């Protein structure tokens, strides 16, 4: 018997100045729409919680995505197994964009098949998925990283950051340094995630921490956070350095927004390239990315790091926790505990 209803997460309110809280969301039971031609019904296995979903809770204009609507379900990347419909055989595992629910109906044309024999489902949202691909594009195309470069990565223990740290090393960086929140994460960066050195941005000013871990300056800054760390990185750049502007998680909540970046004279004096990127504009790089990183996973040069929370009832908790640094590697919610992720 196919299910006729699903549990899913809806938006109930927009974030206040200190950011979203649990009561901005609800878990509800909704009917599953009837399948139309070209659609499949899925059982979701695992879904992603991303910082970009924080931006989609607002009403501000979006250049490449849409805002969530009050009273309506959230959505986002997920891996699901096909139960019925047209386009994929039942049992096929696909990546798609209808997360935040146990079951989903999607247009088959919007999904791609993933090989869970080659790597577990979680990897296809993590180091082999959009997360790893973001690190790949940001380092190589946007940051123009070259062998021998000194690379600094913020939110270095997170999904994109932990991948970027490993990739930078494997692509020949001479020194890779990172920042994260808390002494335990800083220890992990060096002992487990392969960083040469790291600092705790909560315990010391970014300018001081960066000067200590990269005393001779940096060539590439992979910016996941913006604000004070971006200013520190610009001031530590070698002439002709590159900043890959990936995301600005420190700038989401209006109560903690900083205006440090209004004085950019150092970018002029140091002839720095500051370039923002949106990973989905760089699909031409994906085949080489998947080939290379799948090889690194097989050889053990790269390990897929993830923090997994179980159950749709805990998805909001996982999301809010990730925004506060509760994750190491990719933050995921497993929706079907019969699957290893
Ligand atoms: N441009 C693109 O196409 C693209 C694609 C994907 C992701 N992104 C961006 O990439 C960045 C990383 O995303 P992700 O999915 O890998 O998330 P993530 O790093 O796994 O999780 C977010 C991390 O941000 C850190 N953080 C939270 N508040 C912070 C603050 N005020 N200052 C500094 N760090 C803070 C937390 O780690 P700590 O414990 O270290 O604080 C937290 O673990 C985000 O900015 C995201 O928007 C961009």
* Atom nearest to 138 CA in ligand 1: 1
When pLDDT is cut at 50, 70 and 90, the band that residue 259 belongs to is: confident
Q: How far is the CA of 331 from the centre of ligand 1 (A)?
A: 10
Q: How far is the CA of 244 from the centre of ligand 1 (A)?
A: 14
**pTM attached to this predicted model:** 0.97
- Considering the segment(s) 5-126+304-334 as one domain, its CATH architecture is Alpha-Beta Complex (3.90)
Helix (H, G, I), strand (E, B) or coil at 98: strand
Domain edges within the chain? 5-126+304-334, 130-280
Query: Cβ(279) to ligand 1 under 6 A?
Result: yes
Residue 236: the pLDDT is 97
Residue 108 main-chain phi, psi, to 5 deg: -60, -30
Residues constituting the chain: 341
Query: Cβ(180) to ligand 1 under 6 A?
Result: yes
User: Which protein residue has the closest C-alpha to ligand 1 atom 32?
Assistant: 250
Q: How far is the CA of 108 from the centre of ligand 1 (A)?
A: 30
Cβ neighbours of residue 133 closer than 8 Å, sequence gap 6 or more: 279, 282, 285, 286, 289
Residue 61: the pLDDT is 81
User: Which protein residue has the closest C-alpha to ligand 1 atom 46?
Assistant: 247
Torsion angle, alpha carbons of 295, 49, 90, 86, to 10: -110
When pLDDT is cut at 50, 70 and 90, the band that residue 254 belongs to is: confident
pLDDT tens for each residue of 307-335:
999 999 999 999 999 999 999 999 999 99
pLDDT tens for each residue of 38-76:
999 999 999 999 999 999 999 988 777 899 999 999 999
Q: How far is the CA of 287 from the centre of ligand 1 (A)?
A: 25
Q: What CATH number belongs to 130-280?
A: 3.40.50.720
Query: Cβ(185) to ligand 1 under 6 A?
Result: yes
């Amino acid at each position: 018997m196919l299910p006729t209803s699903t549990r899913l997460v809806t938006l109930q309110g927009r974030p206040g100045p200190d950011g979203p809280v649990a009561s901005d969301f609800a878990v509800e039971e909704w009917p599953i729409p009837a399948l139309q031609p070209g659609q499949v019904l899925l059982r979701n296995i695992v879904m992603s919680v991303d910082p970009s979903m924080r931006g989609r809770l607002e009403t501000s204009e979006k250049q490449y995505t849409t805002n969530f609507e009050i009273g309506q379900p959230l959505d986002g990347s997920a891996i699901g197994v096909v139960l019925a419909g047209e386009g994929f055989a039942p049992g096929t595992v696909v990546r798609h964009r209808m997360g935040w629910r146990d079951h989903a109906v999607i247009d088959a044309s919007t999904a791609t098949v993933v090989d869970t024999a080659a790597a577990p489902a979680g990897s296809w949202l993590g180091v082999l998925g959009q997360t790893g691909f973001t690190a790949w594009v940001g380092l190589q195309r946007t940051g123009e990283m070259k062998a021998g470069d000194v690379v600094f990565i913020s939110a270095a223990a997170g999904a994109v950051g932990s991948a970027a740290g490993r990739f930078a090393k494997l692509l020949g960086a001479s020194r890779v340094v990172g920042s994260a929140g808390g002494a335990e994460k800083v220890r992990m960066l060096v002992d487990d995630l392969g960083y040469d050195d790291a600092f705790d941005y909560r315990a010391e000013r970014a300018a001081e921490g960066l000067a200590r871990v990269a005393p001779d300056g940096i060539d590439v800054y992979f910016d996941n956070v913006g604000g004070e760390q971006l200013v520190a990185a610009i001031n530590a750049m070698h002439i002709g350095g590159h900043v890959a502007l990936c995301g600005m998680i420190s700038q989401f909540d209006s109560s903690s927004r900083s205006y440090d970046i209004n004085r950019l004279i150092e970018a002029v004096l140091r002839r720095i390239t500051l370039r923002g990127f949106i990973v989905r504009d760089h699909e031409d790089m994906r085949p080489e990315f998947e080939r290379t990183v799948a090889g690194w996973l097989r050889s053990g040069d790269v390990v897929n790091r993830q923090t997994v929370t179980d159950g749709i009832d805990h998805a909001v908790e996982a999301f809010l926790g990730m925004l506060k640094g509760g994750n190491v590697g990719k933050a995921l919610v497993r929706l079907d505990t019969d699957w290893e992720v």
